[in-house]
């Protein structure tokens, strides 16, 4: 009986000590959130605040750095017929084609983007090998801006910044890695376009990452219609138009 009383006393002391430690950390946890500007009095309030913040973030359009006013005169001096709205439209349609190709794992959906075929094909192959899927739903494009312009070695490059939103989900083996199916994901992309204004200065076509769609060999000379290695027909790059060459999310 004496031993039981000691045991219960010790157990009570341990529980009391742990309770005090928990209370201290609990109050510090709430205090931290209050310092960040959240009105919280309990764990439930924290969860509600986090949900509110996520909901607000889903409606806040991302800002993008714009150099349009500065770059446009230089671009038009070199390309008098340049129309930025047409380029923005091309950027939107190109990204939609890429998202569709990745979601459906179908390289044919980027047939009109010859400079993207190799990288998208590799991404689709990696996703198939690792059983990864991505979904892009209800895509809305908000803002476009010219970000960068340069000319070098016979190639002119324009980088476009874009703000957009979509419902998004990424899964691997049915495990959700990223989930924006309840609230939209607000994000930004940069897309690059190239224009080959002097083919004689470009030299090796490898700098443009042009590859044979059949064997993957690099196309060494611009304008070649057939692969030097396997003889397959190669989709030509339109040397006198702005071609979509790369993209990245940021």
Cα 177 off chain centre by: 15
**Length of the chain counted residue by residue:** 250
pLDDT for 176: 96
Containing 62, the helix (H) or strand (E) segment is: none
DSSP structural state of residue 226 = B
CA distance 49 to 44: 9
Predicted pLDDT of residue 41: 60
Confidence of residue 8 (pLDDT cuts 50, 70, 90): low
pLDDT, tens digit, for every residue of 188-234?
Answer: 999 999 998 887 777 554 445 555 656 656 555 555 556 666 766 65
CA-wise closest residue to 149 among 164, 131, 161: 161
Q: Which helix (H) or strand (E) holds 138?
A: strand 132-152
* Structure confidence by residue, pLDDT tens digits, 100-122: 999 999 999 999 998 998 899 99
pLDDT at 63 over 90: yes
Least confident of 20-34, 83-97, 191-205: 20-34
The tokens for 226 are 């057939």
Question: Of 107 and 3, which is predicted with more confidence?
Answer: 107
pLDDT tens, residue by residue, 144-188? 999 999 998 889 999 999 999 999 999 999 899 999 999 999 999
**Nearest Cα to 177, choosing from 121, 140, 137, 127?**
127
Give the integer Cα–Cα distance in Å for 244 and 192. 6
For the residues 39-68, what does the mean pLDDT come to?
Answer: 72
Q: Is residue 23 predicted with pLDDT exceeding 80?
A: no
**Residue 30 confidence (pLDDT) above 90:** no
DSSP string for 176-220: EEEEEEEEEEEEEEEEEEEEES-HHHH--GGGGT-B-TTT-PBP-
Q: Hey, what are 47's tokens?
A: 């969860």
Spell out the domains of the chain, with CATH numbers in brackets: 2-57 (no CATH), 68-249 (3.10.450)
Using CA atoms, how far apart are residues 160 and 188, in angstroms rounded to an integer? 10
Q: What is the DSSP letter of 148?
A: E
* Mean pLDDT value across residues 83-87: 96
Is pTM beyond 0.75 here?
no
* pLDDT exceeds cutoff 60 at 78: yes
Q: Is the pLDDT of residue 13 over 80?
A: no
Q: Count the Cβ atoms, other than its own, within 10 Å of residue 139.
A: 16
User: CA–CA separation, 227 vs 245, rounded Å?
Assistant: 20
pLDDT score, position 206: 47
CA gap 57, 36 in Å, rounded: 16
């Amino acid at each position: 009986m004496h031993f039981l009383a000691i045991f219960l006393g010790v157990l009570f002391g341990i529980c009391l000590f742990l309770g005090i430690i928990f209370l201290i950390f609990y109050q510090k946890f709430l205090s931290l959130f209050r310092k960040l500007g959240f009105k919280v009095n309990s764990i439930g309030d924290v969860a509600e605040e986090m949900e509110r913040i996520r909901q607000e973030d889903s409606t806040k359009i991302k800002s993008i750095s714009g150099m349009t006013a500065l770059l446009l005169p230089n671009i038009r001096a070199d390309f008098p017929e340049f129309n930025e709205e047409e380029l923005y439209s091309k950027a939107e349609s190109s990204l939609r084609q890429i998202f569709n190709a990745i979601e459906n794992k179908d390289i044919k959906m980027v047939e009109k983007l010859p400079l993207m075929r190799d990288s998208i094909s590799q991404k689709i192959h990696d996703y198939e090998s690792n059983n990864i899927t991505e979904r892009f739903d209800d895509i809305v494009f908000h803002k476009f801006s010219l970000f960068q312009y340069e000319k070098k070695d016979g190639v002119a490059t324009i980088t476009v910044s874009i703000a957009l939103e979509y419902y998004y989900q990424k899964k691997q083996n049915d495990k959700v890695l990223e989930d924006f199916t309840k609230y939209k994901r607000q994000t930004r992309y940069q897309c690059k376009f190239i224009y080959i204004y002097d083919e004689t200065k470009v030299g090796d076509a490898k700098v443009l990452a042009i590859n044979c769609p059949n064997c993957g060999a690099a196309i060494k000379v611009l304008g070649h219609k057939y692969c030097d290695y396997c003889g397959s027909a190669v989709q030509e790059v339109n040397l006198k138009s702005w071609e979509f060459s790369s993209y990245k999310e940021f």
